[in-house]
Structures are given as structure tokens and as C-alpha cells.
Amino acid sequence: MVEVNNLSHVDAITYESLRLILGDIMAPVVDLEIQESPNQHGKLSVTIIAEEPVKDYILYEGNNDIAVLYMQNGAMKALFQGILINMRVMAAGEVYYVFMEVITASYLLDYQVHNGSFQDIGMTSHQMIKLIMNLFPGSQMLISIPDQPVGMIAVMYQETVWDFLKRFLSRYGAYLYVDSTKKGICLCFGLQDTKESVSWDHLPYVIKRDIAPKDVEKQLKGQLVYCVESYDVLPLGTQVLFHGKELYIGTIYRGFRNGLLVNQYHLYFKEGLRIKTYYNPNISGISVKGVVTNIMRNQVQVRLQIDALKSYQNQYFYPYSSVAASPDGGGWYCMPKPGDPVRIFFPVSDESKGYAISSVQGESSPASDSPMGNPDLKDITTPDGKTVKFIENGILLSVGEGNGSVTLTNDGKAEFNTKESIIIGAGEEIKITTDGELTLSAGTQATFTSEAGSSINLTDDTIEANASIIWNN
């Protein structure tokens, strides 16, 4: 703590006015330290004196809920409430000193990692926060960020709810603040503009300026910090008027000095309590499985395996990594259909940069002429059976299941096969030339006709020619 002296002792909290409550036990406090700052859980280190029965109850029977109360104006008020996370006991004769470490109940958001995606870009920021906080019944919250549609996907991947909420708030340049005087989870999302009336102008203070490179983008107001000590107990994020300036409590240190509880406050301009947007490094390079639900040009909507929502007002569209696609719409246009499995790949830590790629799910025993069984083979197939196959010695174009095919081979051959008809038409003329043999075959009959009326008809053992003049050599 930066010590600032010459404080007035009026209304100061003393050891005698402090009590620790744990279940049915009320014990006197002999030492205490509290630390609070934005985006952090409030922490309390406290020492009490206890006799053996009380010591045994705390060690073996008491629950984890701790409250430190103080008497002021005839009423008990909360100084700190939280969860016991660590303790040790030191024996001194028949008296025991119990050292305890306590953390605010906001810790309940921060001990287990989760996966979840929020794809409804029409959901507002307040709706998303409330949806998540509904997982923690009885929690209290005050939200001060703009209540506007989020406008982009949000993905929680291998991170706690606490870390996700902090990161989500950074989109708005805001911090998460914990009120340690309230029981249970009590959070402030962003700064509150409620002013607390204090008379601190007569108190000595220290002013600091942080001009480290990381804060180079902050203007002068964002770099200034006023350090003042008072006996007044105020929560984190409170707005106060100090020497005519509207400042906010950004950091708190509480501890005893000369038998009195001294509260050191670090006061910031609002510009000094803004944070840059940051992302989740755990998501970089991973992919999440899903199923296509809708397609629009080269974008897809996907139901992800980790979706946290059952329905959407305005579902997010991912760009699809199509084959040889170009900005003008040229090149290949190979898109999945609804129901097809895909993966959403996140190349960097910013989840808004994610895009959809193809995915093959399940196991099978592919045929030898399938690309799944032979990586040297390539093909493009549509759902209705149209196929382009890059076979070992050429290219095969086919439709249906054997209804028709065209084969072009590397040795210069072309083969056409259909179940029904082959029709060749031209506006001018058709020429068929060869340096070798020309063979035309038919099962029962071959007919050659012209619009002028001439014809040659070939059957099993007959050739019939019809024309006004027939030349025969």
C-alpha cells in the first residue's frame, strides 16, 4: 500500500467492530487484508482467534460461506463476503489462530472450462449476458454496456464462463467488476454512473502516470491514477467527485494500520478503465463439427455440436471454402447441401474469422476405384449422380447410374455411351474425318437422310438408296 497519512479517525473501523461469520460461528478478527480490481475476483486474507471447539467446527463442520461484518451507526454492515478456499491453524496454548483465504463468489464462474457457441447475431448484448448468468441462480447483475445486437458469432472454447464474459465485455472496451459486499454472485458489467458523495478533497493523495508502451494509445486522462486513503468503505467501480474531477474506483486495498482499517483507493478517469478487445488463444487452429442448415451463395448456416442456443432470430452465416471460387462468381461453385456435415475452422484467435470447410464423418470400406480408396483418383459428384472422374488414363463424364458417359483417354480415344439416344446437330455442317478406318454400326438398321429427300437405308442384308440421281462406280 502507498501510505498517505493525516486521516481523520471519525467513523473508522476498528478491530473491536469487526466480526467474522462462518455458519453458526461469530469470531473476532485480529488481522485482515482485502484486494479488489477490475476483471479479478475479490480476495480476503483474514485471521481470527478461536478456542478449540470453534477451531474444530471451522475445520471439520463449517461450510465455505464467509462474511466479515462491521458495526456502524448501530447496524451491522458487510465488508466482504465470499467463499473459503484455504485455511490453516496455529496453536498458542489453549488459543488458536485461524488463518483463512477467502474469494468472492464470482469464483463459481471460474473453476470449470466449457465449450459453447452463440450464433444468433440478432441477440442483444444484455440478452446474451442474462442467458449465461441464468446458469447461476440467485446471481445479481448490473449491465452498463450498450444493449445492441451483438452482430457477430461468440464462441466459448476451453474457457470458463468468467473468462468468456470478460472477453465478451472487451468488445465494448469494458471491465467486469465484482461487488464483494454482497452475498453470492454480484457483478457489474461495465462502469456504473451512480455517484457516491464523499468529502476527500482535504485528504493527501499521490498522483501517478502510466506511460508504458502498452498504454501508448491512451490519452493523458487514461494514463493518470490518483491514490487516496480513507476510512470510508466504498465498492469497486464507484464514481466519486475528487477535486472537481469525476473519477472511478479502479483498485482497492484494505488493511489495518495502527488499529484502524485504512482503505486505499486508486481513482481513474473513465478513459483509464477501458480495455482493448482481446481474443481466446485456445481457439486458434481448431475446428468444430456441425451440419449445414441453410445456404446463401458462398455462405452457409451451420448447427454446431457445441451450440448453446436451441433456436435463432438471425443465425450467423459462415463463408464456405469452396473449390477455386473467385470474387466475381467464376470458377468452380462447389457447395454443400442442407444436412451435409462440415467443420468450422478457426485459423486465428478471433472467432469472427472462422469459415466452413468440408467434412467426412464415419468410417467405411471404399471401393478401389473410389477417391476414398485411392488418393491418386479425384472426382466431383453431385447429389443426383452427375460425376466428373479423373481416372488413371483420362477423364470420365457420367450421369445417373450408367445412363450415359463420355470417356476421354490419354492415348487420344473418345468413347460415348448412353442407354437411349445420341443426337449430334449443327447449324452448318458436320465433318467426320479419319486417317484410318471409319466404322458405323447399328443393331438392325442404319439410315442416312438429307432434307432434299435423298436417303440411304442399311438393314441386315439390304442397301436401299433413294435420290433423283444415283452415281455408282
**pLDDT-based confidence at 441, cuts 50/70/90?**
confident
**Predicted confidence band of residue 4 (pLDDT cuts 50, 70, 90):** very low
- Please state the length of the chain: 473
**Helices 161-170 and 125-133 sit at what angle, rounded to 10 degrees?**
170
Residue in the structure block whose three cell numbers are 473410389: 370
Q: What is the pLDDT of residues 264-302, one digit of tens each?
A: 999 999 999 999 999 999 999 999 999 999 999 889 999
Residue by residue, DSSP assigns 365-390 as: ---TTSTTT-TT-EEEE-TTS-EEEE
How is domain 110-189 classified at the CATH fold level? Phage tail protein beta-alpha-beta fold (3.55.50)
Start-to-end Cα distance in the chain: 121
Q: Which residue has the higher pLDDT, 457 or 186?
A: 186
Residue 326 has pLDDT above 80, yes or no: no
The CATH class of the 195-272 domain is mainly beta
Q: Is 410 exposed, middle or buried (CB count within 10 Å of its CB: 0-12, 13-18, 19+)?
A: exposed
Between CA 212 and CA 235 the distance in angstroms is: 28
Average pLDDT over residues 156-167: 97
Q: How much is the mean pLDDT over the chain? A: 87
For residue 66, what is its C-alpha cell? 464467509
pLDDT of 281? 95
pLDDT band at residue 372 using 50, 70 and 90 as cut-offs? low
Query: CATH for 15-107, among 3.30.1650.10, 2.60.40.10, 2.30.300.10, 3.30.365.10?
Result: 2.30.300.10
**Predicted local confidence at residue 7, as pLDDT:** 52
DSSP 164: H
Evaluate if residue 304 carries a pLDDT over 60: yes
Instruction: Report whether pLDDT(245) > 50.
Output: yes
Task: Using the predicted structure, report yes or no on whether residue 443 has a pLDDT greater than 80.
Answer: no
Q: Do domains 15-107 and 110-189 have the same CATH topology?
A: no
Indicate the pLDDT class of residue 2, thresholds 50, 70 and 90: very low
Strands of 65-129, DSSP E = 65-72, 75-92, 95-103, 113-118
34 versus 387: which is more confidently predicted? 34
- Say what the pLDDT of residue 373 is: 60
Percent of the chain with pLDDT over 70: 90
Domain boundaries defined on the chain: 15-107, 110-189, 195-272, 286-358, 378-416
Instruction: Note the pLDDT of residue 376.
Output: 67
Residue 204 is predicted with a pLDDT of: 94
Give 193-238 pLDDT, tens digit per residue: 888 889 999 999 999 987 765 654 667 777 899 999 999 999 999 9
Evaluate if residue 110 carries a pLDDT over 70: yes
CATH 3.40.50 describes domain 286-358: no
pLDDT in tens, 115-145: 999 999 999 999 999 999 999 999 999 999 9
pTM of the model: 0.79
